[in-house]
Amino acid sequence: MSTAGPDPHRSFEARRQPALGGFNLTFLSIEVRRLLRNRRTFVLTLVVPVVLFLLLRTNKRIAIPGLEITAATTMIGIAVYGAMLASTSGGAMVSIERALGWSRQLRLTPLRPVAYVAIKILVAMILGLTSVVVVYTAGAISGVDMTPATWVLTGLLAWMASFVFAAFGLFIGYLLPSENVMQVIGPVLGIFSLFSGLFVPLSLLPSVMQDIAPYMPTYGVAAIARFPLVGGAFDLAWLLSVIVWTAAFIIAATLLFRRDTRRT
């Protein structure tokens, strides 16, 4: 009969592996508070989308092949843009952490890459939700007319952009140095928005751009967000686009995080 006690090495390893890979609400709340204290974040989240909506909205119905432009369709498009702008900026803030050496410090903790990426995505999604709520509030005050169910459904679907582009922001944040991130995000999101018809209906764009549009990460998100309002046939390609692009950004961000934390 063996009288040996528990293996101390095994006990140490067990203590080093936290539940859910280190994902916890305390870390999440700290990240949210830290992000909301950033003034640039405040402007991007609350000011820019509202200003765009007030500039682009129209109270007249404009008949365009494939879409009837109203204040409601404009509001939804701007809400999607606000969600993606806020969440991308929130996710890309990891570039600052990288510059400060925070990513390398994470090597010393039991935090798993997937848990870290998940926390960052959730924080960025909270920021994206704030942007959608602000745009929809501006729309309600300015007289946008939709049924209560349509308000809720389109708002939730517009918020879906936060998930896709929070992952995109993390990817960009780990790909580029902090001094280049914001210079890249603006033009890239502008191109994505143009190709998804957020500002200008796709039917008004050249045929070449219309052919490229379905391959843009914003295409499926924008179409799904407007679907409860405009109706018609639901295209599964929209959903496939959202799933594929989200998975691609998450995988890329996770791989880059692993690479960053392994550097000496």
pLDDT for position 14: 47
Task: List, for residues 57-90, the tens digit of each pLDDT value.
Answer: 765 555 555 555 678 888 999 999 999 988 888 7
Partnered with residue 237 across adjacent β-strands are: none
Q: Which two tokens stand for residue 121?
A: 């995505």
More confident residue, 26 or 106: 26
Say if CB 127 and CB 162 are below 8 A apart: yes
Amino acid at 121: I
DSSP conformational letter for 17: S
Q: Which two tokens stand for residue 89?
A: 């900026």
Mean of all residue pLDDT scores within the chain? 79
DSSP three-state, residue 64: strand
Q: What angle do CA 169, 173, 179 make, to 5 degrees?
A: 125
- Average pLDDT rounded to a whole number, residues 85-107: 73
- Span 190-217, average pLDDT: 85
* Residue-level pLDDT at 148: 93
Taking each helix axis from N to C end, the angle separating 113-141 and 48-56, rounded to the nearest 10 degrees, works out to: 40
Give the pLDDT of residue 73: 87
Prediction pTM value: 0.80
SS3 62: strand
Answer whether residue 184 shows pLDDT above 80: yes
Model pLDDT for residues 2-58, shown as the tens digit of each residue: 455 555 444 434 445 555 555 566 767 777 777 767 777 777 778 888 988 888 876
pLDDT at 169 over 60: yes
Angle between helices 25-36 and 113-141 (to 10 degrees): 50
Percent of the chain residues past pLDDT 70, beyond the cut: 76
